[in-house]
Structure 1
Amino acid sequence: MWWPAALAAAVALCLGVPALVAGGSSSSASVTAAPATDSPEAGFARDMATHHQQAIDLSFIVRDRTDNAEVRNLAFDVINTQANQRGMMMGWLDQWGLTQNSAAKPMAWMKMDYQAHDGSLMPGMATNAQIDQLKQLSGTAAEVFYLQLMIEHHKGGVGMAQGYVDLAKNPSEKRLAQSMVTAQSSEIQLMTDMLATRGAKSLS
C-alpha cells in the first residue's frame, strides 16, 4: 500500500472528509452518518483505488523500459497523482469505519455487470497478458503500448468517475471524482497526440 492507513486517513480528513459537522457553537457537534458499505461512496472509493493501483503499476513498468523524457514524465505524473488520490480514498474508507475490500462485485454500486477476465476487473483495466507484454517491450514499442493501455485505462476511469458524480452524496468525494473526469479526459487527448507522433493509434 502506498500510504500507511493512519497517514492516509489524516490526509483525507484534512481534505474535507465530513466526519463531524459543527453545531451552533464550538461546544456542540453532531456526527454525520457514515456511508454504508454498499453505498456508491464506498463502492467508488474501493473500485477507483483498485483501478488507480494498476495505472501506478503500468507507469512503473514503462518508467524502466524507456529513456524517453516525455513518457517518463507522464508516468511520473500518473504515479504521483493516482497514488495521492488512492491514499485519499483509502483514508475515507478508514474514516468511515469501512473495510478496504468488499465481497461485492466491482462496479456493483453502478449497477454494472462487468465480466472480469484475466486480471481486468473493471472497464479499461489491462489484462495480465497485456501487462506481461509491456514488461517484454522497450524503447518506442514500450512507449506506444503503454500509451495505448493508459488511454483505455483512463477511458474506464472517466466512466467510473462520472458514474459516481451522477450518484454522489458526499461533496468532497464528488469533487475528487469530477477532478478525475476533467484531468483524465485531458490526458487522453495528450496521450492520443503522443501516439500520433509515434505513428500509432489508440486500441479503440
Structure 2
Amino acid sequence: MRPRFAWIAGAAAALLVAAGAITYAVAEDGGSGTGTPSSDSADAGFARDMAIHHQQAVEMSYIVRDRTKDEEVRRLAYDIAQTQANQRGMLLGWLDLWELPKVSAKPPMDWMGMGDMASGEDGALMPGMATNAEMKKLGTLNGRQAEVFYLQLMTGHHKGGIHMAEGCVAKCSVGVEKKLAQGMVDAQQSEIQLMSDMLKERGAAPRS
C-alpha cells in the first residue's frame, strides 16, 4: 500500500519546503500593490476561518491515529495533520505580519457572503466541519469502525475546505495566499479520491 502514498508524501514535503518561502514572500506581497489587507478583507477572513477549519482536521487525525493500528489510515492521518498544522501556522503568521486580529466579531465565511449560512449546529462552525457529537463519537470507535468514520468525516471536511479555498482563489488579493489556497484545492481533491478508494476497500462509501 506504500506506492499510492508516495505522491502524498511528496506533495506534503513540497508544501512544507515552500512554507518558509511563502511566509517570507507574503511580507513583500501587499496584494499586488493594494497594500496590507484590511481586517474585513477576504485575505484576513480566509486566514482566520481556514485556521479554524484546519485545526479540527488536525484533531480528527490525531484521534484516529490512536484508534486504529492500520498503517494506511495512520499514514494518511499523519500526512493530513502535519500538512494542515503547518498551513495553519502560516495563516496565523500572516495575520500577525499584517497586525490583524485572529478573531472577528463577524460570523465565519462572512468574507464569502455566507455569514448567515456558515454556522451549523452542535459546534460545526463552517461547511464540512464535524459536529461536537461526531468528534466525540470518533473518539469512542476502534479499528475498522474508526477508520471508516474518520474517512467519511474527513471527506466532508475536505469538501468544505475546498469550497472555502476556492473562495480565496477568487476573492483574495495577496498573491502567495491565493497560490496556497489553490494548492489546498488541488491536494484535497486528490485526497478525496484516495479516501473514496480506501472507503470502498472497507465496504463503505462517503456520506451524502
Alignment TM-score, normalising by the size of structure 2: 0.85
Number of the residue aligned with 1:58:
60
Specify the alignment match of 1:147 in structure 2. 151
Q: Identify the residue that residue 42 of structure 2 maps to in structure 1.
A: 40
Which is higher, the Rg of structure 1 or of structure 2? 1
Counterpart of 2:88 (choices 86, 89, 104) is 86
Which secondary structure does the structure 2 equivalent of 1:202 belong to?
coil
Aligned pairs for 1:3-152 (under 5 A) are 11=20, 14-19=23-28, 33-112=35-114, 113=116, 114-152=118-156
**Runs of 4+ deviating beyond 6 Å:** none
Shift of 1:187: 0.3
Cα gap change, 1:145/1:20 in structure 2, threshold over 3 Å: closer, same or farther? closer
Structure 1: how far apart are the matches of 2:73 and 2:155? 13
1:174 aligned partner, one-letter code: K
In structure 1, give the amino acid aligned to 2:177.
E
Which one of 165, 175, 179 corresponds to residue 175 of structure 1?
Answer: 179
State the Cα RMSD in Å.
1.7
Counterpart residue identity of residue 58, structure 1: M
Does the 8 A contact of 1:19 with 1:32 survive in 2? no
Q: Which moved more, 1:123-132 or 1:113-122?
A: 113-122
TM-score (norm 1): 0.87
| 8 A contact 2:108–2:126 mirrored in 1 | yes
- Which structure features the higher share of helix residues? 2
The sequence identity of aligned pairs, in percent, is: 59
Q: Could you give the per-residue CA deviations for residues 7-63 of structure 1, whole angstroms, max 9, x where no partner exists?
A: xxx947644113478xxxxxxxxx972111000000000000000000000000000
Which amino acid is 1:72 matched to? R
Using the alignment, how far apart are the partners of 1:140 and 1:195 within structure 2?
10
Q: Where does residue 191 of structure 1 map in the other structure? A: 195
